[in-house]
Amino acid sequence: MLTKLKKSITFFFNSYWLVEYVMLLEYQQLSFRKLDKKPILISMVDNRRRGNGLTDRFKGIISVYALAKTIGVPYRCIYTHPVYLTSFLIPNQYDWLPKHGELDDTVGGMRFKLLRKQRTAKRLLRVLPLTKQVRVYANNDYLDEINRIFHTEYKWGQLFGELFKVTEPLESKLQCHLDRIGGPYIACVFRFQALLGDFKEYNFKPLGETEQQQLIAKNKKALQQITEESAVPVLVTSDSATFISEIKALANVYTIPGKVVHIDNSADEAEEVYMKSFVDFFMLARAQKVYSVGTKTMYRTDFPAYAAKVNDVPFERILIN
């Protein structure tokens, strides 16, 4: 009985609706009078809630935009942590930047909606019909579900292209790497998390030294096979500087220099450090084909899969035995 009571208390205090109302009272003006503001769906990426990695943030943004587009309401994005998104991406066909005076900051006129661990769009759809401004923290991809429910046929890359174009500084870096590669290329992504001991990510633990060397050797061998079979250069990206140092001298391989951090775990880096993730993402998006390569012990990353979706590039996973 005591165990059940503890579980009930824990569930109550961890309930999303409770957290949402606590946030509402904590961050918004304590006014229950609704201002004369139009309903808006707003994607939120700030320091109030963890947003996971760059790919998960994009998943949530595209999902909320798709719903706003489907029901015909304005969409805005507030992305300020750990760096402003506008340092790398700016509005393209749709202006998602909040306009002066259009946001409602009162308790009576807006709501928070948290979807951090929700695998379906159910909690998101509860905002309908939209009568207030709703600020959504989402990091999952609900596009297929939205298409099914509303009988739409939105493509992820299509919506991404409507929202975003790269800034001039980012485009300059991309063009520099494209010029160095000198033509068409394919791309391989290796995601190790903390396995090789050189990347901080949540509470993941590194392997022992012997196991690390074995893992590097397996992935290097798989990469060599790909490069030998490829008629074009192979762009290699990884979250492990250790692995990059091991393979960057291989024939037909191109790597992008720069420090790699997990965007959700490093809040005090220079803007140039965060730029590296965006450079990697859009270089993958411009490849002829993208591969995610790894063993069963390595993370099944969505970073290359969603980079490939931007320009509808073929994508394939290679599992190493």
Instruction: Please give the pLDDT value at position 116.
Output: 75
CA distances from 204 to 6, 207, 253, 260 (A): 28, 10, 29, 16
* Mean pLDDT, rounded, for 119-132: 92
pLDDT at 204 over 80: no
Domain 168-319 = CATH 3.60.15.30: no
What confidence tier does 17 reach under pLDDT thresholds 50, 70, 90?
confident
| pTM of the predicted model as reported, rounded to 2 decimal places | 0.90
Instruction: Please give the pLDDT value at position 13.
Output: 43
pLDDT at 177 over 50: yes
Query: Across all residues in the chain, what is the average pLDDT?
Result: 90
pLDDT at 30 over 80: no
Tell me how many helices (H) and strands (E) the chain has.
11, 11
- CA dist 105 and 108 (Å) reads 9
Q: Is 47 helix (H, G, I), strand (E, B) or coil?
A: coil
pLDDT at 143 over 60: yes
Instruction: Please give the pLDDT value at position 11.
Output: 41
Among 131-145, 198-212, 269-283, 284-298, the least confident range: 198-212
Q: Are 40 and 133 in contact (CB under 8 A)?
A: yes
Residues 251-294 have pLDDT tens digits of 999 999 987 776 756 666 778 888 999 999 999 999 999 999 99
Chain centroid, CA 286 distance in Å: 18
Side-by-side strand order, sheet with 234-238: 253-255, 234-238, 186-190, 290-294, 315-319
Instruction: Please give the pLDDT value at position 52.
Output: 82
Identify the helix (H) or strand (E) that includes residue 91. Answer: strand 89-91
What confidence tier does 212 reach under pLDDT thresholds 50, 70, 90?
very high
* Mean pLDDT, rounded, for 98-122: 89
What confidence tier does 12 reach under pLDDT thresholds 50, 70, 90?
very low
Instruction: Please give the pLDDT value at position 10.
Output: 40
Residues 37-86 have pLDDT tens digits of 999 999 999 988 877 889 999 999 999 999 999 999 999 999 999 999 99
The residue extents of the domains of the chain are 2-166, 168-319
Q: Are 92 and 161 in contact (CB under 8 A)?
A: yes
